[in-house]
Structure 1
């Protein structure tokens, strides 16, 4: 569920960044696909980082 929240907010924020940068560039047609792919890539990176950083269960018992 937390990864769906990451995906949702990354899509929202990247669409806003896309809109602002498109407006600064003089308008034109908005590209909706590129921010969605960026949000999916960002979510995959977050999932991988969470798997790498998360401590193993048996490691926490050995530490004092």
Structure 2
């Protein structure tokens, strides 16, 4: 569920960035696909970082 939240907020924030940068550039046609692809890549990166950083259960039991 937390990864769905990461995906949702990544899409929302990247679409906002896309809109602002497009408006500053002159207001041409919006590209909706690129921010969604980048949001999926960011979500996968967060998922991988979470898997790498999260301690294993055996490591936490030995410390206590």
- C-alpha RMSD over aligned residues: 0.6
Q: TM-score, normalised by structure 1?
A: 0.97
Corresponding residue pairs, total? 64
Structure 1 unaligned residues grouped into runs of 5+: none
Matches within 5 A, 1:30-45: 30-45=30-45
Is 1:19 the counterpart of 2:27? The answer is no
1:8 counterpart residue number:
8
Q: TM-score, normalised by structure 2?
A: 0.97
Equivalents in 2 of 1:3, 1:60: separation in Å? 24
Equivalents in 2 of 1:58, 1:21: separation in Å? 47
CA deviation profile, 1:1-58 (whole Å, cap 9, x unmatched) = 0000000000000000000000000110000000000000000000000000000001
